Structure 1
Amino acid sequence: MYADGSTAWIVTAAGKGNNHLALVGSYLSNGDEIINTPQGCSLLIAREGVSMAEDFLPIIED
């Protein structure tokens, strides 16, 4: 929710395997990107040689 009362929804996230969590780097329906968070205690681990799920922060094409 924005100061002017408008809302947007999360378009890209951590994917189904990660409960579709919004992350720094997630995009919203209005084109905004999440650039920071007040939360400081979550960690997702990417392992070398193991691809992230196809739906993990997918690229959005304009």
Structure 2
Amino acid sequence: MIQQGTGLQEFKLENGQSVHGARKGDYVMYVDGSTAQIITGAGQVNNDVALVGSLLSNGDEIINTPQDGLVFVAREGESMVKDFLPSIAD
């Protein structure tokens, strides 16, 4: 669960709750109370929004999202920005 999203985008979830999207630098809180920082996102040009596939400081990866309103489309033959979900080695 994201502690508090700092993204500019606001989403209304199925349960009616409004939340801000998470970004690179925000924290995920686990059920046991531990936390990890989001370390990759959609790149600066995309406000570093966190995505399914974003990596966390503890080696985990975001695998789902409660929102369904924002998607990124990768088109064949078109490159994504260099800092879009970079590998840790980048």
| Shorter-normalised TM range | 0.7 to 0.9
Looking at structure 2, the residues matched to 8 and 25 of structure 1 have their Cα atoms a distance apart, in angstroms, of 15
CA root-mean-square deviation: 1.2
Percent of aligned pairs with the same amino acid: 67
Looking at structure 1, the residues matched to 53 and 72 of structure 2 have their Cα atoms a distance apart, in angstroms, of 13
TM-score, scaled to structure 2? 0.62
Between Structure 1 and Structure 2, the one with more strand by share is 2
Looking at structure 1, the residues matched to 74 and 60 of structure 2 have their Cα atoms a distance apart, in angstroms, of 25
- RCO greater where, 1 or 2, for CA within 8 Å and sep 6 or more? 1
1:20 aligns to what?
A: 48
Unmatched segments (≥5 aa) in structure 2: 1-28
Runs of 4+ in 1 over 3 A off after TM superposition: none
Deviation, 1:21, is 0.5
TM-score, scaled to structure 1? 0.86
